[in-house]
Amino acid sequence: MGRTRGFDEATVLHTVRDQFWDTGYEGTSTYDLMDATGLGKGSIYKAFGNKRELYLRIFADYCDDIVGQVQQAVGSRQVDGPDATSGSPLRRLEQYVVSLANAFAAESPHRGCFLSKATADLAGADEAVAERARDAFDRIAGILGAAICDAQRANEIDPAADPRTLGYLLLSVIRGIDCIAKAGVDPSTLSDTARAAITLLPRPTT
């Protein structure tokens, strides 16, 4: 009968993710992970593999989490009662993009999104990271594109527009806001930019 682990795996993975998030892959040593988690090197390797395997594990988990958050925020849903705002697909998109801009602006320190950080740090050199990042971006853009389709059916966006392209357009705006927020750009500028991105989506011509 195997020995029960003397630690909570979810807590350890969360701690490891924050360590990589704060100091990056190259800036994080195995000894840093040992200090952060309180585990020995052998325990870390036995439970999670080497440093790269552990990084890929927490990055994949993070990507799944963020995709789920986007789905929850802008995915299609039925709204009962007087909540017309939530019932508007375009309004859902605006609320989501503006809320992210506000969240990025309010961070202290500004560390942004781990998906953006991992992509910038490693995707150019590590195909496994690049593949996971591409998959996450495709899924997020797909969810945004589905919300665009909902807005087209609601006659809020030009039905001739390509939902996938507009989904990637909004994704690019979000990633850009994430980046410039780290430089301390004024919060009102970030939220105004988010609203402008929604305003610029093509409206029906008739």
Confidence check: pLDDT of 176 > 50: yes
Indicate the CATH number for domain 1-49. Answer: 1.10.10.60
pLDDT tens digit string along 124-173? 999 999 999 999 999 999 999 999 999 999 999 999 999 999 999 999 99
Query: At which residue do the structure tokens 């799944």 appear?
Result: 64
Q: What is the largest CA-CA distance in the chain?
A: 71
59-199 fold? Tetracycline Repressor; domain 2 (1.10.357)
Measure the CA–CA gap between 58 and 60, rounded to whole angstroms.
5
Confidence check: pLDDT of 29 > 80: yes
Interacting residues of 193 by C-beta distance below 8 A, sequence separation 6+: 101, 173, 177
Containing 18, the helix (H) or strand (E) segment is helix 9-23
What is the separation of C-alpha 28 from the centre of its chain, rounded to a whole number of angstroms? 22
> Span 92-121, mean pLDDT?
94
Taking alpha carbons only, the member of 75, 127, 101 closest to residue 180 is 101
Long-range contacts of 39-46 (CB under 8 A, 24+ apart): 39/7, 39/12, 43/7
Task: Kindly state the tokens that stand for 157.
Answer: 């966006």
Taking alpha carbons only, the member of 47, 52, 59 closest to residue 18 is 59
Task: Kindly state the tokens that stand for 54.
Answer: 């552990």
Measure the CA–CA gap between 39 and 45, rounded to whole angstroms.
10
Containing 155, the helix (H) or strand (E) segment is none
Ramachandran class of 112: left when φ > 0, alpha when ψ lies in -120 to 50, beta otherwise: left
* pTM of the complete model: 0.88
- Per the CB < 8 A criterion, the answer to whether 131 and 182 are in contact is no
pLDDT tens digit string along 40-61? 988 888 888 899 999 999 999 9
Confidence check: pLDDT of 80 > 70: no
Domain positions in the chain are 1-49, 59-199
